[in-house]
Structure 1
Amino acid sequence: MSVFDFHARLVPGGDGRLLQAMDRAGIDRAAVSAGGLIGLDELSVQITYGGRVETPADNSAVAQACERSGGRLLPFYFADPRRDVDAYRKEAEHFRGLEISPAVHGFRLDEPAVAELVAIAAAMRHPVYVVTTGRPGCRPADLARLAFEFPQAVLVWGHCGHTGLEMAGLAELAPLSNVVAELSGCLTVTARTAIDRLGAGRVLFGTEFPLQHPAVELAKCAALGLEPADRDRVLRTNACRLLGEDTTW
């Protein structure tokens, strides 16, 4: 079965390593965002206590690597809402989606610049990838309010939250049909619950490469015991639909 990884990270010059990992795991395509902006020790602190990094994402390098990939890699623009609104507006046509990260850039989801970015993404038909945290303004309820405010935008809830066991967040987001859950990093029980509550048509396979080995996420999906049609939705066709890709490959 063909596989589309909806969330991997790419550092400058790292496309060869990513493509090799995809080949070994049997993953055909991947949506990629810039990586390497923050060390893992620092990120773990910011997830809990807040803070932001000033290192800019190398979105140009991501776009160039995707051009070299022959269609296997699709670029997402990784935006800092506090400085990248105009840049994303100018460059959006060269990308397939948008990522914003409260944990990395230290913003709240109710800031006006976030609304500006989401409005641009909606106009471009770009899905918006967001990982919520437990801090005020960055929680699943805040993502739910953003989804309600922008029903024309597709918001992808990365990792099904930041704890691996975000059941309350699933309950809050399930009624919003424009919210889609991405499974990388969450527990098997959370992945199963996401499919039960949202339906297989609103769930995406992702790896969070290079932080997670692709084989781990593939094994997790295999352990869910999905019917073939639902497994194909999660592993491939949902991503194709959101990104405007042909589903016949």
Structure 2
Amino acid sequence: MSPHLTTADPRPVLDFHVRLAPVEHAADRLLSMMDESGVARAVVCAGGTMPLERLSRNLIEGGHIETDADNEAVRAACAASGGRLVPFWFANPHRDPAEYRERAAEFRGLEISPAVHGVGLDDPRTAALVAAAGEAGHSVYTVCLERPGATVADLVKLAAGHPDVTFVLGHMGIGNIDLYALELVGDLPNVLAETSGGYAVVARTALRLLGPDRILFGSEAPLQHPATELDKLRRAGFEDADWHAATWRNACRVLGEPERTREWRSPG
């Protein structure tokens, strides 16, 4: 794997939500997609926990798996990327959080997915993982569902009970036009909204309701091309300062890093 960086673009982009598919050369393809889009770095979590057709059906009808994601593959790919790929641990609430605690220093954050593992945000097993994330100084990424225990209201309760942990609301809520989700999290400064998936109007509303410091650009690559999601922010009316906050500065803050924009330029 050969990291590709240039100094062509003065505005580096950090994509806060991409996945590493369990297929050959997945990291190389991901880096190429980032290069095509002008994305310098990306937060990576395991993908391919189940076929997309099954995941889609489970989202509607219910269902889950109890197997682990391939966190080691994510760690290895990120370690070989020259710092461009930032590893997150995909938690399995059906397991004791001990392994995550033991390996937390090798990762930079945590993902919990009720859609994949079927364990709600109101479950004690989820609370135990969040507590471990707090001990490690990690943020917690999750995608909510319109299902008891996994709604945005449930995330609000979880985040209110762990005010020292930063939470990231994946896809800005449930579906493509969840303005209500932004209202629900509005009073919780420890909840940020990640932009992949939602319509441009939701990103525009997030900017108005939450402010630029609580928005994180994400693409859901490789399922969605980062260039498409970046264009959405442009068309949503993000000005230069807002753009820099959403696509770089906020992610650096959540990761506990200095901005270091001179070291990371978008590939050209």
Superposed, 1:27-46 pairs within 5 Å as 27-46=39-58
Number of residue pairs matched by the alignment: 249
Q: Which moved more, 1:120-129 or 1:142-151?
A: 120-129
* Corresponding position of 1:242: 254
Question: 2:32 aligned to 5, 16, 20, which one?
Answer: 20
* Corresponding position of 1:68: 80
* Corresponding position of 1:223: 235
Paired AA for residue 39 in structure 1? P
Question: What's the CA shift for 1:54?
Answer: 3.1
* Corresponding position of 2:14: 4
Question: 2:201 aligned to 189, 201, 218, which one?
Answer: 189
Q: Alignment partner of 1:57: what SS?
A: coil
Q: Alignment partner of 1:91: what SS?
A: helix
Q: Distance in 1 between matches of 2:58 and 2:183?
A: 25
* Contact in 2 for aligned 1:48/1:134 (Cα 8 Å): no
4+ runs deviating over 4 angstroms:
none
Is 1:163 the counterpart of 2:164? The answer is no
Q: Alignment partner of 2:87: what SS?
A: strand
Q: Distance in 2 between matches of 1:135 and 1:112?
A: 17
Question: 2:129 aligned to 96, 99, 117, which one?
Answer: 117
Q: Distance in 1 between matches of 2:58 and 2:186?
A: 27
Superposed, 1:42-191 pairs within 5 Å as 42-191=54-203
Q: Distance in 1 between matches of 2:56 and 2:208?
A: 30
* Contact in 1 for aligned 2:15/2:42 (Cα 8 Å): yes
Aligned-residue CA RMSD (Å): 1.0
Q: TM-score, normalised by structure 2?
A: 0.91
* Corresponding position of 1:208: 220
Q: TM-score, normalised by structure 1?
A: 0.97
Q: Which runs of 5+ in 1 are unaligned?
A: none
Deviations 1:223-248 (A, max 9, x none): 12222111100011100110022213
* Contact in 2 for aligned 1:34/1:78 (Cα 8 Å): yes
Percentage of matched positions with identical amino acids: 50
Q: Distance in 1 between matches of 2:240 and 2:226?
A: 20
Deviations 1:155-203 (A, max 9, x none): 1000012311111111111111100000001000111111111110000
Q: Distance in 2 between matches of 1:184 and 1:245?
A: 22
* Contact in 2 for aligned 1:48/1:135 (Cα 8 Å): no
Q: Alignment partner of 2:16: what SS?
A: strand
Paired AA for residue 220 in structure 1? K
Deviations 1:23-75 (A, max 9, x none): 11110000000011111111112222221123321101100100000000000
Q: Distance in 1 between matches of 2:31 and 2:257?
A: 19
Q: Distance in 1 between matches of 2:91 and 2:260?
A: 32
Question: What's the CA shift for 1:84?
Answer: 4.8
